[in-house]
Structure 1
């Protein structure tokens, strides 16, 4: 059994489409290209397949493919250094390269069989359960690509699937074809007792004791404000916080909606302007892409974020905040471009009745430990993967 190499690469046109697909800005293109040039020489895409035939004589290919360990190693190295945004770019680049691999596999299958692939059935979909991965791997007879107890493939940028083979060329399958994998680990998050997996390399313990649950109720007959955390790599974190802000304002609550890392104006700000009891605090200027190696960038972002903290503290001390939303707050905390001591004090010493909402990817332990609600948005499908660009009033 041997793996066949697959040539996958991104040209400038692919990078332009990549920027649209994953919500990056055009001024981030140079940074994305720099990262891509670092990982590209290390990516060695491979695939292996066997041909299966059912009782009716219909043929299909059982395929396993991978980009190798380089993506995982590069991403883990960035995460260890706290370079979360660069690690995210690496992850997105890996997804695009894997998508290109599918097209190359179609071509290779046609070369070897004379038949055409007609759509992919991925592990976790109807007819190809996650639990059948061990059997599929045994049939494939390979040991380079493994799987863990949750049937997640290792290396991560690997995939196993079946594709039916036809004598005539079929309409190309969609990269985001309909998926009914309700038990897929990428759709549902794993719980083990009170352990919640929010990050690849760290399981964060959440206190679900009786005392903790009781403390989520009232204290001295005063309604207790709770802490919400929206995290994960899927769309909807900011959107959820906006919805909560509008609901709270509709109930007559004084809402303070703060945004970190963001300078460019988005459509929700126009709506907030029309709601008198929502006050928006955000960067007064667009600082562009945060550069962790630039002292000037670090200083600019830190000063701006600490200014936002000061405004929040003044509003709270003046009794002008019933609901505090800190959108994208995980990033300045993880990057260390905010006064962490003041930020943590704001959370731990908040007024009893004040509600707090935190959003952002890669929620740090402090956020998880103090949150009463934790919602993890997981990307299963996104229209940008099909080339649909960000739309005014929907995405921004």
Structure 2
């Protein structure tokens, strides 16, 4: 059994989710058992369509009516926070009980930054997870504590992006 490590993909560039999905596909291709959860995204991201159909990968559904946090009312934020905190507990329990090899928490850093997931709970899980469990997180602005908990840290920087020219996200490319 190999020791599981922690990956963080962060920055303002495109490709953080793509890195995590690539890791999931590679792990599943090697026969590893993979669990995927997306924070702060609808359950219709194109990558989920293929991941749901690959052997060795389980996708747990997020909050389907997810809006951008800045668009939410305080009541919607409280409801989302409760959902994500409970979902994280379920994810951790499932990852441990069913002996997964890789857990990908897509937009996990955003969930922490927007107060939808307790950083303390996340750090506690990373510290006390099963030894073989690999964990990947992505998003913006990881705290010093999360950076210190990681074994791999990759910064993905934007140099140029079509959004800056007013080009909306495109199916199969950005969503």
TM-score (norm 1): 0.42
Give the structure 2 partner of residue 379 of structure 1: 158
Give the structure 1 partner of residue 134 of structure 2: 355
CA distance in 2, matches of 1:390, 1:225: 34
Give 1:225 shift. 0.9
Asked whether the equivalents of residues 291 and 297 of structure 1 are also in contact (C-alpha less than 8 Å), the reply is: no
Secondary structure of the structure 1 residue equivalent to 2:9: strand
Q: How does 1:130-279 map to 2 (within 5 A)?
A: 222-279=1-58
Give 1:276 shift. 2.7
Secondary structure of the structure 1 residue equivalent to 2:136: strand
Give the structure 1 partner of residue 174 of structure 2: 395
Give 1:379 shift. 0.5
C-alpha spacing 1:321/1:364, structure 2 compared with 1 (3 Å): same
C-alpha spacing 1:225/1:394, structure 2 compared with 1 (3 Å): same
- Structure 2 unpaired stretches of 5+: none
Q: How does 1:95-114 map to 2 (within 5 A)?
A: none
CA distance in 1, matches of 2:105, 2:35: 8
Higher relative contact order (CA 8 A, sep 6+): 2
CA distance in 1, matches of 2:164, 2:68: 23
CA distance in 2, matches of 1:223, 1:363: 26
Asked whether the equivalents of residues 260 and 282 of structure 1 are also in contact (C-alpha less than 8 Å), the reply is: no
Give the structure 2 partner of residue 77 of structure 1: none
CA distance in 2, matches of 1:299, 1:362: 22
Asked whether the equivalents of residues 228 and 374 of structure 1 are also in contact (C-alpha less than 8 Å), the reply is: yes
Moved over 6 A (4+): none
TM-score (norm 2): 0.90
C-alpha spacing 1:389/1:298, structure 2 compared with 1 (3 Å): closer
Judge which range, 225-234 or 376-385, deviates more.
376-385
* Root mean square deviation, CA, Å: 1.9
CA distance in 1, matches of 2:34, 2:71: 32
Task: Provide Cα deviations, 1:15-54, integer angstroms capped at 9, x if missing partner.
Answer: xxxxxxxxxxxxxxxxxxxxxxxxxxxxxxxxxxxxxxxx
Give 1:381 shift. 1.5
C-alpha spacing 1:332/1:390, structure 2 compared with 1 (3 Å): closer
Asked whether the equivalents of residues 282 and 308 of structure 1 are also in contact (C-alpha less than 8 Å), the reply is: no
The answer to whether 1:364 aligns with 2:123 is no
